[in-house]
Amino acid sequence: MIHAFIKKGCFQDSVSLMIISRKLSESENVDDVSVMMGTPANKSLLETTGFWHDDFHGATPNDICVAIRTEAVDDGITQVIVQQLEEALQQLAQGSSGSQSLIQVRRWESACQKLPEANLALVSVAGEYAAELAEQALDRSLNVMIFSDNVTLDDEIRLKRRARDKGLLVMGPDCGTAMIANTPLAFANVMPEGNIGVIGASGTGIQELCSQIALAGEGITHAIGLGGRDLSAEVGGISALTALEILSADEKSQVLAFVSKPPADAVRQHIIAAMKATGKPVVALFLGFSSPVAREGNVWFASTLDEAARLACLLSRVTSQRKEMVSTGGVIRGLYTGGTLAAEAAGLLAGYLGVAADTEHHHGMMLDADGHQIIDLGDDFYTVGRPHPMIDPALRNQLIAGLGAQPQVRVLLVDVVIGFGATADPAASLIQAWQKACAARASDQPLFAIATVTGTERDPQCRSQQIAALEDAGITVVDSLPEATLLAAELIR
């Protein structure tokens, strides 16, 4: 049986009502309680979930609808829930017990006096009042996050245009997720700080993207929500453009990641142009859109949240490493002992440089374009009369040492493969050959070496010991071929 009542003219946000619903559902003789504002969407949800009562026909979006599922047949249980609701609402007004007291004000003037340094206002009221409050915030030169839903499209467009004219940002309406300078707003996760700035017209999209970034060991600067309609044809991505400009000017945000629900085609093209204008690496995920190319200049396209996070983390690491190294110009030489590693490196590097990988593979040549070369030294051509280079790296070491007389080669890509059957200490001989090449060059002709290590801690050579030796010598060690080849490509730009 469903008992119901309406509390007129008492707007509360959905999170508070969800908490109250859970608390009231624990009451004696009650199976379940649902507490929602009387919006059309919520009324439909009450009906769908079996909590509908005809009394709710008269509820407005400013009224609280309370549905009680119980076996009790008298109205006594309703009176109990009414009393408990009043107590819960009073606790909300006073602030939850045991928590730090918040400053409570009822006028903009008082709020601005209490927090004169504030530059952002969060609006969470009934939708019909949200636009007016947001406009008042803009009047006071405050950026605005509108958590409220049921704001008209016309109001959203008007507010966002006004904000852009004033150099301000409106996040929302119906913006449920943001994190500004590690401060969570509404739904958010505890994130490590990093160099990735996130923008999203999707609340859970932002959360999942940020979570995947954290799981990969990287962090964010800000996560700016836009509201689900921002990239519609009507709104035109007004807040997206402002957010891109904000993060473009933010020195800490060195890589940008953008996620949105399916945008209007013309708006998407406009946003991509704005991404290119930032001059920073940008990962773009437009759900429902499949880009015909993987990359346009500094904009990288992803098709899933997982791919977007991986790309953002890759670009984050490469950007951080790139800052510590001087741009070289010149060409890249890859000398690999593993054929598959050479093939993948060639394909990746060709894509980054905009050249074609070698299709003939004559004499192990996997890439030979514009002076850049990737060679598979395990090819049959190099193993006639001599051991495979994983067993005896003498040939590769000779070729590396010979780079001392080839100053146009500025970046060396190599693999270090360990394990049973491999030479006892591949790092040692590689370091010796590289140092010999460097010593033969003038000081203004550096030879950067970038290595990946294939193997595990339990291998006889021990992966971490090989990495430590390489890094101590000055060789850059990265986790993957995409990272190695991208860093190489960036170094010669």
What is the distance of C-alpha 478 from the center of its chain?
A: 21
CA-to-CA dists, residue 250 to 218, 238, 308, 317, angstroms: 18, 19, 21, 18
Using the Cα atoms of residue 367, residue 368, residue 371 and residue 374 in order, give the sign of their dihedral: positive
pLDDT band, very low/low/confident/very high, at 328 (cuts 50, 70, 90): confident
CA atoms within 13 A on the CB side of 412: 31
The H or E element spanning position 397 is: helix 394-402
What pLDDT score was predicted for residue 98?
44
What pLDDT score was predicted for residue 36?
96
Q: Is the pLDDT of residue 463 over 90?
A: yes
DSSP string covering 317-346, please?
A: HHHHHHHTS----SEEEEEES-HHHHHHHH
Look up residue 306 and give its DSSP letter.
Answer: H
Percent of all residues in the chain with a pLDDT value above 70, rounded to a whole number:
98
pLDDT band, very low/low/confident/very high, at 275 (cuts 50, 70, 90): very high
Q: Is the pLDDT of residue 294 over 50?
A: yes
What pLDDT score was predicted for residue 97?
43
Per-residue model confidence as pLDDT tens digits over 212-238: 999 999 999 999 999 999 999 999 999
Q: Minimal CA–CA distance to 336: which of 416, 439, 425?
A: 416
Mean pLDDT over the full length of the chain = 94
Helix-strand-coil split of the chain, %, nearest 5: 40, 20, 40
d(CA 148, CA 64): 15
Q: Minimal CA–CA distance to 81: which of 67, 60, 95?
A: 67
Decide: residue 413, CB within 10 A, 0-12 exposed, 13-18 middle, 19+ buried. Answer: buried
d(CA 479, CA 454): 9
224, 246 in Cβ contact below 8 A? Answer: yes
pTM: 0.82
Q: Is the pLDDT of residue 323 over 90?
A: no
- The vertex-198 CA angle with 192 and 203, nearest 5°, equals 100
Could you tell me which residues come within 8 angstroms of residue 342 by beta carbon, excluding any fewer than 6 positions away?
Answer: 334, 336, 364, 366, 374, 375, 376, 378, 415
The H or E element spanning position 249 is: helix 238-249
List the domains of the chain with CATH numbers. 2-94 (3.30.70), 103-158 (3.40.50.720), 175-321 (3.40.50.261), 325-491 (3.40.50.261)
What pLDDT score was predicted for residue 322?
85
d(CA 130, CA 147): 9
Report helix, strand or coil for 183: strand
Q: Is the pLDDT of residue 88 over 60?
A: yes
d(CA 141, CA 121): 10
What pLDDT score was predicted for residue 102?
66
The H or E element spanning position 221 is: strand 220-225
DSSP string covering 74-142, please?
A: STHHHHHHHHHHHHHHHHHHH--TTSPPPP--SSHHHHHHH-TT--EEEE-S-HHHHHHHHHHHHHTT-
Per-residue model confidence as pLDDT tens digits over 373-382: 999 999 999 9
What pLDDT score was predicted for residue 95?
62
What pLDDT score was predicted for residue 101?
58
